[in-house]
Amino acid sequence: MMALTTKGSPRVRATVSRPLWAALRSATAPRSIADLLAECPGTYDTVHTALKRWQDRGAVVRQPGKPLRFRIVDGADHLPPDGRSDTAKTNIRERSARQRIWAAMRVLKTFDAPTLRMTANATERAVATYIDQLQRARYVQMVERGFRQTGRVSVYRLARNTGPKCPMTSRPEGKLVLVDNNNGRRIDISPGAVSLRRKDQEVNADGGVG
């Protein structure tokens, strides 16, 4: 049988994507490319290309360490995000650094910035900005403070895993608002609003406190 080497062609995508996606969905632990090749057609390149494409769309997360290992994010669709279904169109629209970072946070649960950058394939600035904004909304909490002098990095945990869609920000009337499209919450994370909250106060859906 001729090997599948034209890794970007529609025929190869159709041949590789569905069995590869099925193997990932049935896995109980992150799978390496070698593991997946034992169950799916294709070559290392075609499988790696599909995994990287899904990682960019926030549907798959790469685990830290070597060999490369991947897993599907919670709540993923039963079909691979390659076609032009409504689910696929949504995934393409959400193909952003924040979606990848959020997906990585949901899988890792506890993380530091360097691990998050590698797992989500995101820049240092993108990770730092998103962590800061999620901290203001109390979606992320610091569990261990780092020290630059010793090289120890801060460790965080995801305190509010509200769903697969990454919370985004908007700036209505000069405010900085975190918008969670999983539950409709809108939280004012402007510096002034955050500084007025006590640590024991809960953030309400409208950004106020209770």
Which CATH number is 31's domain given?
1.10.10.10
Residue 78 lies in a domain: no
Q: Is residue 202 part of a domain?
A: no
pLDDT at 173: 78
Q: What pLDDT is attached to residue 6?
A: 39
* Count of structural domains, the chain: 1
What value does the CA radius of gyration of the chain take, rounded to a whole number of Å?
19
The 10s digit of each residue's pLDDT in 131-181 is 999 999 999 999 999 888 888 999 999 999 999 989 998 887 788 999 998
Query: For position 77, what pLDDT does the model report?
Result: 65
The confidence band for 82, taking pLDDT boundaries of 50, 70 and 90, is low
pLDDT value, residue 62: 87
Asked whether residue 44 is assigned to any structural domain, the reply reads yes
Q: Is omega for the bond preceding 67 within 30 degrees of 0, making it cis?
A: yes
Determine, yes or no, domain membership for 113: no
Residue 168 lies in a domain: no
pLDDT digits (tens, 9 = 90+) for 90-142: 444 444 789 999 999 999 999 999 999 999 988 899 999 999 999 999 999 99
Which range has the worst mean pLDDT, 1-5, 9-13, 67-71? 1-5
Q: Is residue 47 part of a domain?
A: yes
Report if residue 56 sits inside a domain.
yes
87-94, Cβ contacts within 8 angstroms, sequence gap of 24 or more: 91/57, 91/58, 91/59, 92/57, 94/57, 94/58, 94/165, 94/166
Give the domain extent around 45.
Answer: 12-72
Q: Is residue 93 part of a domain?
A: no
